[in-house]
Chain A
Amino acid sequence: RKEVEQDPGPFNVPEGATVAFNCTYSNSASQSFFWYRQDCRKEPKLLMSVYSSGNEDGRFTAQLNRASQYISLLIRDSKLSDSATYLCVVRIQGAQKLVFGQGTRLTINP
């Protein structure tokens, strides 16, 4: 079983829609959580960190559910520019590295 699993998609949604996707992690000792976005043929860029109490940044909301071992990302009022691959990233306690999910591809259609 992979340490971090994401639905690869692709998700195709109309502009203005709300879209949400989850990411599950296998190690209950996971400590830090992030969402990155990666545009085609570009480097990953940090979208937001995920805090235990949940956090919001504009149209983006991230939540952590430790009991069920998943994190989620919600995008409201989606824009064409939101089209990208969204990477779920987890750090396991004691590990010196982050574990990246395979990414969920999102396409926002006009």
Chain B
Amino acid sequence: EADIYQTPRYLVIGTGKKITLECSQTMGHDKMYWYQQDPGMELHLIHYSYGVNSTEKGDLSSESTVSRIRTEHFPLTLESARPSHTSQYLCASSRGDNQPQHFGDGTRLSIL
């Protein structure tokens, strides 16, 4: 099993709150990714990082932001949550470009 962890697993919170979704990996992977996925729908890449102090926006526009201050940590932040942010957020990491990505368990986010 890959060593990549996401917290919280589930979060139900009111509109307007600031939220940070945590993602950590202990494999020393340089590449990390955030995906958004609605039930029964495909994965959408929203952010990725090549390494420390590197972040890029993905294919799907997102109001969230990310940071990469340490190799092992890639948190995602929503400054003011809205119901449209309700979704599952999946974090992944990989050793290199040609290597497969390993996913965390995901965070199911519900904004009331």
Chain A interface (Cβ within 8 Å of chain B)? Answer: 31-32, 34, 36, 41-46, 49, 87, 89, 91, 95-98, 100-103
B45 (CB) vs chain A CBs: closest residue? A97
Q: A41-B39, A46-B100, A91-B98 are in contact. List 5 more A-B contacts (CB 8 A).
A: A96-B31, A96-B48, A98-B101, A100-B42, A102-B42
User: CB within 8 Å of A: which of B70-111?
Assistant: 88, 90, 94, 97-98, 100-106
Question: How far is it, in angstroms, between the C-alpha of A34 and the C-alpha of B98 when the chains are bound?
Answer: 10
Q: How large is the interface on B (under 10, 10 to 19, 20 to 34, 35 or more residues)?
A: 20 to 34
- 8 interchain pairs, CB-CB under 8 A: A31-B98, A32-B98, A34-B100, A43-B103, A46-B100, A91-B97, A96-B31, A101-B42
The smallest C-beta distance from A19 to any residue of chain B, in angstroms, reads: 20
Q: Given A34-B100, A44-B103, A46-B100, are A96 and B42 neighbors across the interface (CB < 8 Å)?
A: no
Question: How far is it, in angstroms, between the C-alpha of A95 and the C-alpha of B56 when the chains are bound?
Answer: 12
Q: Given A96-B48, A97-B48, are A49 and B100 neighbors across the interface (CB < 8 Å)?
A: yes
B33 (CB) vs chain A CBs: closest residue? A97
> CB-defined interface of B1-45 with A at 8 Å, one 1/0 digit per residue?
000000000000000000000000000000101000001011101
Q: Is A103 within 8 A of B100, CB to CB?
A: no
Interface of B is mostly: loop
Which B residues are in CB contact (< 8 Å) with A100? 42-43
A36 (CB) vs chain B CBs: closest residue? B100
Q: Is A43 within 8 A of B90, CB to CB?
A: yes
A103 (CB) vs chain B CBs: closest residue? B42
Which A residues are in CB contact (< 8 Å) with B98? 31-32, 91
